[in-house]
Amino acid sequence: MTNENIEKNTATDSTACVLLIGNEILSGKTQDANLQYLGTELSRLGVKLAEARVLPDDADVIVATVNECRARYTYVFTTGGIGPTHDDITAKCIATAFGRELILDQRAVECLKRGSFELNEARLKMARLPEGSTLIENPRSNAPGFCVENVYVLAGIPSIARAMFETLADEFDSGPPIYSRNVDVFMREGDIAGPLEIIADEFPDIEIGSYPFARDGRFGANLVVRGTDAGRLDLALNKIVETMTRLGDDSSVGEPD
């Protein structure tokens, strides 16, 4: 069954890196849900997510990685480490990376005052930001994220990270539409790799991806084609369907959704 989606063109000059910060992710105690969301949303906005890393709660590692990535990519997004506890060190690390003072930001204090909780010393830590930061609104829990130059610091809790990101959508470059379609074939990747490579060489302007799956005791692959020229996309998809059918795929192929 083929499917069709319209996204934003990721083939732009704008690139991004996502840094997922937290020992709890590395230990396996917490399953990250932010990377998939950010990758999808950045793609729709025309920003290519070029790299993602998971970092420990280690100041030296965070500072070095932020400095490396902010020089390499258009945008850097961090998630996690901006809460009130002792291991929430992201804000301090970002300040160090940029050579700025970590200050009690009165704008952030006012945001925290809108909450229903006691504004104790621990919670005030969430208002200590690098000097000159731009606040990122947090409509979920009032504790703001922040931005320094091209580095955007979001919460680790997925619902809050999403709410923060949604307030930023208008800030990023966007590209022309790109069409995306896919078809499932019930054949092993090793059997289709050669023919698929020939098709990819024939359509260098089309991005062709193969993503294996196991379903109902059968192995297969989801073949995805992306491109800005709908006509060329049709040709590539038709060639894939014809080739896979000839090779023995017995899956049904319908019209694009």
What's the CATH fold of domain 10-171?
Molybdenum Cofactor Biosythetic Enzyme; Chain A (3.40.980)
Tokens at 97, concatenated: 């990376």
Which pLDDT value is given to residue 177?
56
What's the CATH fold of domain 177-247?
Alpha-Beta Plaits (3.30.70)
Q: How far is CA 249 from CA 46, 182, 186, 187, 213, in A?
A: 34, 15, 6, 6, 15
Which pLDDT value is given to residue 257?
30
Residue 253 has pLDDT above 90, yes or no: no
Tokens at 87, concatenated: 């291991």
CA atoms in the 13 A half-sphere facing the CB of 83: 14
Q: How far is CA 246 from CA 119, 203, 217, 256, in A?
A: 68, 19, 23, 21
State how far Cα 149 lies from the chain centre: 19
Residue 18 binned pLDDT confidence (cut-offs 50, 70, 90): very high
Tokens at 218, concatenated: 């059968």
What helix, strand, coil percent values describe the chain, rounded to 5? 40, 30, 35
Whole-angstrom Cα distance, residue 96 to residue 195? 51
Placement of tokens 């083939």 in the chain: 11
- Measured N-to-C along each axis, helices 34-44 and 158-166 cross at an angle, to the nearest 10 degrees, of 20
Residue 107 has pLDDT above 60, yes or no: yes
Nearest Cα to 195, choosing from 160, 165, 236, 134?
A: 236
Residue 11 binned pLDDT confidence (cut-offs 50, 70, 90): very low
pLDDT per residue over 192-203, tens digit each?
999 999 999 999
Tokens at 202, concatenated: 């024939």
Residue 250 binned pLDDT confidence (cut-offs 50, 70, 90): low
Lowest-pLDDT range, 85-89, 111-115, 224-228?
224-228
Q: Report the DSSP beta bridge partners of residue 19.
A: 53, 78
Q: Where in the chain are all domains bearing CATH 3.40.980.10?
A: 10-171
Residue 238 has pLDDT above 90, yes or no: yes
Whole-angstrom Cα distance, residue 136 to residue 163? 10
| 0.85 exceeded by pTM | no
Sort strands 75-79 and 177-185 into parallel, antiparallel or unpaired: unpaired
Contact present, 112 and 127 (Cβ < 8 Å): yes
Q: Where in the chain are all domains bearing CATH 3.30.70.2860?
A: 177-247
Placement of tokens 């621990």 in the chain: 122
Residue 70 has pLDDT above 90, yes or no: yes
pLDDT per residue over 127-176, tens digit each?
999 999 999 999 988 899 999 999 999 999 999 999 999 999 778 766 55
